[in-house]
């Protein structure tokens, strides 16, 4: 199989209208006609605008807007939420169940004896996690596993409490950041590149 590469530039008018902003595109296509394009760089091709502006992108899941932002205005980049993903079941459980709830779940499991009869949401979450990952949900396996987790809880980096604290802080940061972006947009010049 072979790949073909094309490189080319597209351009759009700059803020003052006397020059351009140039975007460099790299495009690849294979024997089956599949192709991928991405931009690899942009530059302000106007002596006046180059002095006054910088380029900033507001990238979200389904959109990517480019702006010439005046140098004295701060337009931060979009902050994306951290996605917590854990390979191992111990890390996963510890990130989602507090230390107290873990202990309560152990008691719940001991008292109710069967995984189908547990009462607490945290117990169900743990049982489901075992079922989903290992197709097993015997409390004879789960209880000793949880007892070990309780003992080692603080050795884990992302405990439930730390994840919660991180997410709360992140929400505030994102709110601040979004406010700065929102304020900067009307003072900036949006670039209107033709579609790739």
Task: Provide the strand spans (E) within the chain.
Answer: 3-13, 20-30, 35-45, 53-60, 63-70, 189-190
In angstroms, give the least distance from the CB of 52 to Zn ion.
8
Q: Please tell me what DSSP assigns to residue 72.
A: T
In angstroms, give the least distance from the CB of 45 to Zn ion.
9
Nearer to Zn ion, 11 or 27 (CB): 11
- Asked if 65 and 56 count as a contact pair (C-beta separation under 8 A), the reply is no
Which of 9, 12, 19, 24: binder of Zn ion (CB under 5 A)? Answer: 19
In angstroms, give the least distance from the CB of 192 to Zn ion.
14
In angstroms, give the least distance from the CB of 72 to Zn ion.
17
- For 163, half-sphere exposure in the C-beta direction (CA atoms, 13 angstrom radius) is 18
The burial class, CB within 10 Å (0-12 / 13-18 / 19+), for 174 is middle
x/- map, 36-75, Zn ion, by CB under 5 A: ----------x-xx--------------------------
Should residue 191 be labelled a site residue for Zn ion when binding is judged by CB under 5 A?
Answer: no
Helix and strand counts by DSSP (H, E) for the chain = 6, 6
Nearer to Zn ion, 19 or 70 (CB): 19
**Footprint of Zn ion (CB under 5 A):** 14, 16, 19, 46, 48-49
């Amino acid at each position: 199989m072979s790949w073909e590469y094309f490189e080319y530039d597209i351009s759009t008018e700059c803020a003052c209208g006397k020059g351009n902003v140039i975007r460099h595109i790299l495009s690849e296509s294979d024997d089956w006609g599949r192709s991928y394009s991405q931009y690899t760089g942009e530059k302000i091709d106007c002596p006046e605008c180059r002095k006054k502006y910088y380029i900033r992108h507001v990238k979200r899941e389904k959109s990517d807007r480019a702006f010439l932002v005046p140098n004295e205005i701060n337009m931060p980049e979009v902050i994306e939420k951290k996605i917590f993903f854990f390979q191992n079941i111990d890390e996963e459980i510890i990130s989602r169940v507090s230390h107290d709830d873990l202990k309560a779940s152990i008691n719940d499991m001991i008292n109710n004896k069967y995984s189908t009869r547990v009462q607490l949401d945290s117990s169900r979450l743990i049982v489901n996690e075992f079922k989903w990952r290992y197709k097993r949900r015997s409390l004879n396996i789960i209880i000793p596993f949880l007892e070990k987790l309780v003992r080692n809880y603080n050795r884990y980096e992302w405990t439930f409490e730390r994840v919660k604290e991180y997410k709360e802080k992140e929400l505030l940061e994102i709110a601040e950041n979004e406010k700065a972006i929102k304020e900067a947009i009307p003072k900036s010049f949006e670039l209107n590149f033709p579609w790739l």
